[in-house]
Amino acid sequence: MTEEQPKRRFLTIEQVADELNVKATQVRVLIKTGELRGIQIGARGVWRIGAQDLEDYITEAYRRTEERIAVGDLEGAGSEAEEA
């Protein structure tokens, strides 16, 4: 039996980008617009995103998508290349 690594509390912008399969610049935009919560740490102001904040963002994105599907607003569906 292998020992499981403890889940990280905070992620870097790059780790979040990898998790969402988008570019780091897109994560920065999400933070700037307030869609994704992040904090700046230390004198250099490096960004960190809480693991729970990422999960909350994903849950909210699913909710918004379900709403759009329910009202028939599927514009852009199937055009993943535009979003990445």
The domain spans of the chain are 10-72
Report the CATH architecture of 10-72: Orthogonal Bundle (1.10)
Q: In this structure, are residues 10 and 48 in contact, taking their beta carbons and an 8 Å threshold?
A: yes
| Residue 27 CB neighbour total at 10 angstroms | 27
**Mean pLDDT over residues 5-30, rounded?**
94
The string of DSSP letters for 30-55 reads HHHHTSS--EEETTTTEEEEEHHHHH
| Residue 39 CB neighbour total at 10 angstroms | 13
Q: Is the pLDDT of residue 84 over 50?
A: no
pTM, two decimals, is 0.76
52 token code pair: 């729970």
What pLDDT digit, counting tens, does each position of 22-78 carry? 999 999 999 999 999 999 999 999 999 999 999 999 999 999 999 999 998 876 555
